[in-house]
Every structure is written in structure tokens, then in C-alpha cells.
Amino acid sequence: MKSLSGKKALILGLANDRSIAWGIAQALHAQGVKLAFNFLGDALEKRVRPLAESLNAEIIAPCDVSNDEQITQLFQTVKEKWGTFDILIHSVAFANKDDLQGRFVDTPRAGFKLALDISAYSLVAVAREAEKLMPAATETGGGGTVITLTYYGAEKVIPGYNVMGVAKAALETCVKYLAADLGPKKIRVHAISAGPIKTLAAAGAIPNFRDFLTTVAEKAPMRENVSPEDVGALAAFLCQDSARHMTGSVIHVDSGYNIMGV
């Protein structure tokens, strides 16, 4: 039996079939979840739409998470189609590539604002809208699950991560405050801290990313890197009733790398 059959999920940030959001989408689909996706601009729509359609997505709509009007319109579309929904996946982050090079201290004000807005505040903005559409909590159910994606660079200095590390630290704290606010409505909020995964975004933004993957595989207790499918498996678990008393967590899926010292 599919453990999440009949649930509905909105996935924000799918970019291509190598992205973490794709691993999560596949895992949820396999458990019987109905899916909705956003896209940003025509170029991304050409990549997102075929993937979404392959999972029988019921909603594929534009949304720039830095634009409040577009966020409102997306959730209005979800309301008109579904009425309510149960799962929100926030797989969104961005910083100017130049701000991921050199020294963090040289980050310009505009670049700092941009990274924090898109990578952290957008979770707050979409969670606020999701709260309105998630089923009312009852003794037998209701509520929902919000999951975002973070990285170890929020906890420790990772060369080449710079302002994105600061943004992820803000994101992780947002998770805790959102969990406190939304908990009375039985809406659970989590961050999954995945080990480095060779997505197109990571490979293009972080210098010497291939060497970094090799180092992590050598140092992690389990001596291997993780995959989008690993993240998807955890996300699917967190959305199940068996995880109903878990919230506000930052959960690592990194073969144990985060426990190691120098």
C-alpha cells in the first residue's frame, strides 16, 4: 500500500532531472502523492514541464518566489484546483556566482540581500500561503508538512560557499520559528541537510566541486556520497503519519560527514 496515497504536494524549485527536487518528486509520486510544480521563465519551463508531466503533475505554473504577487497567484491556482494540499517542498536557493568566489567579507550589500531573500525569506513567504490551504487539524489528522533543503555550509565554513552559507543558516533558523508558529495547526516544518550532490547548480557554482565530492567520500563514515534519491526517501518519510511528532528538525543525509572533525 502506498503510504501517502491521496496526499497532494507542491514542489518549488525543480530545475532538471539531476536536481534534488526531482529525487523528492519521484519518491512522493511513488507513494501515491499528487504533484504540482512551479517554474521560473520560459527556459526553465521547457525543462520542468516534461519532467512534471512524466509524473502526471496536475499543476504546472509560473512563480518567481521573490515576487509576492506571483506567490499569491500560484497558491490561488492550487486552491482552485485542489482546495487544500498537504505537502510543500521548498528547493529554492540562489546567490550571484561572483559572491561565491573570493572572500565572504567582500560580499556586496545587494548580493547579500539577494541571497537571503531568495534562499531564506522565500520559505517564510510560501509557508505563510501554505498555512491557509493545508487541512485544518483534527484529532485524527489534518495539518501538513513543509520541507526545505539546506547544507552543512550553514554550520561550518565551506570554501566557495560564502554568502550561501549565511543564507542557509538563516534558513535553518526560519525552520525552527516556523515550526513553532505552525505547530498548533499540526503543520510540521523540517530542513534536510544533504551531503554534496552533483547537481548542475552545485557543479557550476562551487570551485573544484569534483574534488570536494571525492574528499567527502573519503572522510564520511560510510565512505560514499549521497544521491537525490536518498534525500527523496527521507522527505517521503517525513511526510508520513509516522513522523507526525517530528518538527523543527535539521536532519542530515550525508553518510555521516557532519559528525567528523578535521
Render pLDDT for 149-192 as a digit per residue (tens, 0 to 9): 999 999 999 988 999 999 999 999 999 999 999 999 999 999 99
pLDDT at 1 over 70: no
Q: What is the pLDDT of residue 210?
A: 79
Residue 45 has pLDDT above 80, yes or no: yes
Superfamily of domain 8-255: NAD(P)-binding Rossmann-like Domain (3.40.50.720)
Give the residue-averaged pLDDT of 90-96: 96
How is the chain split into domains, by residue range? 8-255
Q: How do strand 59-62 and strand 87-90 relate by DSSP bridges?
A: unpaired
Given the residues 121, 152, 161, 177, the one annotated as active site: 161
Q: What is the pTM of this model?
A: 0.95
pLDDT at residue number 212: 78
Burial of 50 (C-beta count, 10 Å sphere; 0-12/13-18/19+): exposed
Q: Check residue 203 and give its pLDDT.
A: 62
- Please report, rounded to a whole number, the percentage of residues in the chain having pLDDT higher than 90: 86
Query: Which residues 6+ apart lie within 8 Å of 50 measured at CB?
Result: none
- Based on the residue annotation, tell me whether 177 is a catalytic residue of this protein: no
Helical axes 41-54 vs 20-30, angle rounded to 10°: 30
The band of 202, judged by pLDDT with boundaries at 50, 70 and 90, is low
Let me know if 257 is a catalytic residue. Answer: no
Q: Check residue 159 and report its DSSP letter.
A: T
Instruction: Provide the pLDDT for residue 206.
Output: 65
Instruction: Check 121, 151, 152, 257 and give the catalytic one.
Output: 151
